[in-house]
Amino acid sequence: MSEAIKAGVWRDMGLTDEEYGRIRELLGRDPNYLEIGLFAVMWSEHCGYKNSRPVLKLFPTSGPRVLQGPGENAGVVDIGDGLALVFKIESHNHPSAIEPFQGAATGVGGIVRDIFTMGARPIALLDSLRFGLDDERARYLFGGVVSGIGFYGNCIGVPTVAGEVFFHPSFEGNPLVNAMCVGLIEQEKLALGAASGVGNPVMVVGARTGRDGIHGATFASEELNETSEERRPAVQVGDPFMEKLLIESCLEIIDKGYVVGMQDLGAAGLTSSTSEMASRAGTGIEIDVTKVPLRETAMTPYEIMLSESQERMLVVPKAGCEAVVQEVFERWGLNAVVIGRVTDDGLYRIKEGDRVVAELPARLLTDECPVYYRDEKEPDYYQELKKFDPRSVPEPGDYNEVLLKIMASPNLASKEWVYRQYDHQVGINTVIVPGDGDAAVLRLKEHSPKGIALKTDCNSRYVYLDPYRGGALAVAEATRNLSCTGAEPLAITDCLNFGNPEKPEIFWQFKQAVLGMSEACRALGAPVVSGNVSFYNETRGQAVYPTPTVGAVGLLEDVGRRCSQGFKQEGDLIYLLGPYAHHVGASEYLSLIHGRDAGPVPEIDLKLEKQIQETCRALIREGLLQSAHDLSEGGMAAALAESCISGRIGARIYMEDDELHNRRGDAILFGEGPSRIIISSRPAAASRVMEVCLEKGVPLVCLGMVDGKELKITANHRKYIELGVESIEQAWRGGIDSWLSRS
């Protein structure tokens, strides 16, 4: 096993001198080239979470419904009737920055494998995307990412049901591409990623191994710069057809009871899957790289172990089941080859034929990954921007013009351009489709009268201006969106996208955001069951706006009692459930119209948030509501406009509360804040709606009624908005197209 190691070779692979020293110490000898490669990928931030682990411990991760928290391939929650949901969100930011189509496509492929690895059938995909705003490349990346997601998801027959897109200059050069997958499983069929049972065979199934994606995990753990383009070979190419065959064959072998453990080959390929499976089971593992089916010739053990070729899985079947497993895969036209076995010596041993080319205790790769407690420092901008007085900007003269501009801005505009490229219906479960509600709602036909609601959310601007509050607001908004459909939030998964954690200001953002999220998760009863950290989202030293994306999952006891966002019928009464907004700090309005990302981020009272969500769900359960729509970017005016567009009907709104007398029109109309929902009900239900809100002790104001073809908003006796719904709709529908054709 001796060979000459060039001094410093570990640095090219992403290890520091200290880490290399630690490896020597742990091994009691010099590692060989292959072993250094194994440590480099497994000790990368992407695989080892060495910078984030101590902070991630702050999340609440348990609850009565949690069957599996973080640590497995995905989180699992109990939805009753013997069923469970398996879900996780993951980033594919850096590959997408270089090669948007394949980067995004393989991001989808990876997260889908995490779900069916556990034995669950993937039933829904979501995404959360961030792009630059003014640069030409942002348009190219946007188009490529959207078509890549569609290409993969559409082909494998998993509907892409919800998501979000946000544009801001801070994402120039470093877009964020987060993909979430949700699977459904009968609890008793749950499979885990552990290589247990000494003597059991270890099989690699699916695609052949090539040279693509070598050191992808390391690439994901560094900043982007001018030479990143040279990393194009570290981006893998996706084959969704192969994935579809893998889904069917893997679910079949689990269903037939052949499997002990299964793990997908994602970041760090064979290296991570074999070592993680051994480590989870506390066993050893031995594999022979000459047995691995290859698609290229003359691949070295190093290349085989570090390849990130897509659509491969590691399967540990019960001993004696090799042949029947092979039969299933053959029927689907796939490889299934025994490459090694589970051992009892705790060693991670790689052989090339008879020759041992690497041998070390398996736990060194997973459990001994160093943990860094990074310095944190409040960034200079924080106090400065917080002090900004939002009333210092001039009040608009023409509010109609401002509303049209906000509705047409890419952040608020219809995302039809995106979701029309996604199959959002396959599976015939999607009963609230994109654009119709605050979250997607799926029925569980054949299984249960229940339904599930899904949504991803995060306001990156809030998190930048106030990471603690922004983190809490992200959890609040995602869960509120579920509640607006009538679903009770069960748990969340998160994708924490930040800059370089070695910079104290970035680490401060990260920790504050996690603290804020944790508080909200606790208050709202939605623990974190899975997630992913993506650091080093920087270009030319500039970090992206911190974006801890929240993927929330909720349950409707009766999918027949669900609610969508559009106004339904003339004469229905419109209410604001929750408080008025106080100011326009940190708002989309302030950013878009006045060019300022500044001011105080809206405060959140988590007790009120919980009550508002509960009240909304109770109203929907009682069948009292015609519509419910959360107030987010663009404030009250944008939410009302959206409910009008969605229902193709107008509304007349009067706001004359004493509380508003000294408040500016822009604060009332465009100010943002949590714990606010626009609801509508039939006049006959009005007294009961008020009664329920009184019982729950939450604020409720009647704002007006559904009427005509125009949106008219009057406040403090001043007529602010008078616009045809059709003209608002036109601006809103054309927003993305006009952004794309802007030059």
Partner 1 sequence: MKFGIVVFPGSNCEADCYYVIDKVLGENVEYIWHQQESVDGFDGLVLPGGFSYGDYLRTGAIARFSPVMNAVERFAKSGGLVIGICNGFQILLEAGLLPGAMQRNKVLQFRCQPTQLRVERSDTPFSNLCRERQVLTVPINHGEGNYYADPDSLAELEANRQVVFRYCTPGGEAAAEANPNGAVNNIAGIVNREGNVLGMMPHPERCSESVLGSSDGRLIFASLVEWWKGGGAVVGSN
For partner 1, the binding residues (CB under 8 A) are 147, 150-151, 154-157, 239-242, 244-245, 332-333, 419-428, 430-431, 433, 443, 445-446, 559-560
Distance CA 667, CA 587 (A): 10
Q: Token digits for 715?
A: 């406040």
User: By C-beta, is 436 or 603 nearer to partner 1?
Assistant: 436
Cα 124 from chain centroid? 13
Distance CA 184, CA 272 (A): 26
> At closest approach, how far in Å is the CB of 129 from partner 1?
17
Contact status, residue 114 vs residue 73, Cβ threshold 8 Å: yes
Alpha helices in 121-206 (DSSP H): 136-156
Q: Token digits for 249?
A: 């064959």
Distance CA 120, CA 640 (A): 39
> At closest approach, how far in Å is the CB of 150 from partner 1?
5
> At closest approach, how far in Å is the CB of 561 from partner 1?
12
Q: Tell which phi-psi region holds residue 318, choosing left (phi > 0), alpha (psi between -120 and 50) or beta.
A: beta
Q: What is the DSSP letter of 344?
A: S
Helices (H) and strands (E) in the chain, counts: 26, 28
Distance CA 729, CA 719 (A): 20
CA neighbor of 372 nearest in space, from 48, 6, 621, 32? 48
CA angle 316, 286, 115 (to 5 degrees): 35
Question: In Å, what is the CA distance from 424 to each residue of 125, 416, 439, 733?
Answer: 9, 12, 13, 19
CA angle 232, 235, 237 (to 5 degrees): 120
Q: What is the DSSP letter of 114?
A: H
* DSSP string of 640-700, one letter each residue: HHHHHHHHT--EEEEE--GGGTTS-HHHHHH---SS-EEEEE-GGGHHHHHHHHHHHT--E
Cα dihedral across residues 292, 295, 301, 305: positive or negative: negative
Distance CA 557, CA 81 (A): 11
User: By C-beta, is 112 or 402 nearer to partner 1?
Assistant: 112
Q: Find the distance separating the first CA and the last CA of the chain, reported in whole Å.
A: 59
Contact status, residue 468 vs residue 514, Cβ threshold 8 Å: no
Contact status, residue 135 vs residue 158, Cβ threshold 8 Å: no
User: 3-state SS string over 67-90?
Assistant: EECECECCEEEEEECCEEEEEEEE
C-alpha Rg value of the chain to the nearest Å: 26
Whether 661 sits among the annotated catalytic residues: the reply is: no
> At closest approach, how far in Å is the CB of 251 from partner 1?
12
* DSSP string of 565-621, one letter each residue: SS--STT-EEEEESPPP---TT-HHHHHHH----SPPPP--HHHHHHHHHHHHHHHH
For 285, phi and psi rounded to 5 degrees?
A: -150, 145
Neighbour count for residue 558 (Cβ, 10 Å) = 12
Cα dihedral across residues 230, 233, 235, 239: positive or negative: positive
> At closest approach, how far in Å is the CB of 139 from partner 1?
15
Distance CA 534, CA 174 (A): 12
Torsion angle of the four alpha carbons 488, 492, 498, 502, in this order, in degrees rounded to the nearest 10: 140
Contact status, residue 439 vs residue 486, Cβ threshold 8 Å: no
Strand 160-167 and strand 121-131: pairing? parallel
Distance CA 682, CA 87 (A): 37
Catalytic residue positions, numbered: 46, 92
